[in-house]
Amino acid sequence: MSATTAPRTVVPSTGLVATTLRSTRAELGRLRAWPAVWITLGAWLALSLMFGYLFTYLSYTTGDASFADEGTTQAEQLARLLPDAVPNVFLQGMPMFGGALMMVLGALVAGNGYGWGTWKTVFSQGVRRSSAVIGSVTALTAFVVATLAVTLVFDLGISLVITATEGQDVVLPSLGSTAEAFGAGFLVLEMWAVLGFALGTLARGPALSVGLGLVWALVVENLLRGVGQLLSWVEALTEVLPGTSAGSLIGSIVGVGEGDGTPGVLDTVPGPQAALTVTVYIVAAIALSLLLVRRRDVA
């Protein structure tokens, strides 16, 4: 049989599940090799160290309360540094700092798909658009889970070092409180990550989506909450905003009294309502991304 008449190789498993799995593996490979991913993780761990442990430990050892520990005793400061307090420390920076970093990463993952021409190349090879988007979101979700796991281990390691240094008994946090903190942290970081992904898809580029996301998360919502103290209808609006919902979910677990020094920790709405709102944002952001990619021209 000549080369010109040889049968073409048929690629099996071209269904939605198979193509989604292949897209997920490809996106995971891209994320692992991308410096922005490791920079994001390193920045978050540095923030967790500074705001979770370093400032409080300096206040404890010097007896000079920092802005985050004003009005607390040295015994209370030490208690915040021990292992049984890890779930609370693990969560406190997520509504604002962790969320902002995840939004930036999500916007970069989606936006660079347009800026680098990745989506155009992938779709020209016959890959289903929905499979590519779901695979990309799945890879982003895997990074969120990995970030949470690394942060939990990192915080526990820091607290164990402090415990040994101060000669305290090791009391580990309960499995229930750890699982609750991990679940709440996942909802918050996942929401901001997929909202960033949706912005990157909407803007079809990384720069504008990153800028819009940061302005909203760090400026606009804070301004609206301030105005809400004067106008009742604005206050009602802020109760369903993503930042308010994320902050209230974390606040329902750690307590606003313990989060006074950390921006973004709130008690505006009850925890169950906040969790439901955050879940709705996750589903809506993924659905919007799928709709935009399937309906619009990629170029």
Q: How far is it, in rounded angstroms, from Cα 88 to Cα 28?
A: 30
What's the whole-model pTM score?
A: 0.88
Amino acid 132: pLDDT: 83
Q: Are 178 and 152 in contact (CB under 8 A)?
A: yes
| Higher pLDDT pick, 89 / 12 | 89
Q: Which of 76-85, 176-185, 197-206 has the highest mean pLDDT?
A: 176-185
| Higher pLDDT pick, 63 / 52 | 52
Q: Which of 86-100, 125-139, 176-190, 212-226 has the highest mean pLDDT?
A: 176-190
Average pLDDT over residues 142-151: 96
| Higher pLDDT pick, 298 / 254 | 254
Q: Which of 134, 114, 116 is nearest to 297 (CA)?
A: 114
Q: Where does the pLDDT of residue 174 fall: very low under 50, low under 70, confident under 90, or very high at 90 and above?
A: very high
Q: Where does the pLDDT of residue 11 fall: very low under 50, low under 70, confident under 90, or very high at 90 and above?
A: very low
For the CA atoms of 141, 146, 149, 154, what is the dihedral angle to 10 degrees? -130
pLDDT of 53 > 80? The answer is yes
Q: Which of 48-52, 144-148, 227-231, 253-257 has the highest mean pLDDT?
A: 144-148
How many Cα atoms are found within 13 Å in the side-chain-facing hemisphere of 232?
0
Which distant-in-sequence residues (6+ apart) come within 8 Å of 60 by Cβ? 69, 74, 77, 78, 81
- Among 9-18, 93-102, 111-120, the minimum mean pLDDT is found in 9-18
State in Å, rounded, how far the first CA of the chain is from the last one. 42
Average pLDDT over residues 127-131: 77
Q: How far is it, in rounded angstroms, from Cα 224 to Cα 237?
A: 9
Amino acid 219: pLDDT: 82
Q: Are 162 and 56 in contact (CB under 8 A)?
A: no
Q: Where does the pLDDT of residue 257 fall: very low under 50, low under 70, confident under 90, or very high at 90 and above?
A: low
Amino acid 12: pLDDT: 44
Amino acid 8: pLDDT: 41
Amino acid 88: pLDDT: 92
Amino acid 111: pLDDT: 84
Average pLDDT over residues 135-153: 95
Q: Where does the pLDDT of residue 220 fall: very low under 50, low under 70, confident under 90, or very high at 90 and above?
A: confident
Average pLDDT over residues 111-127: 75
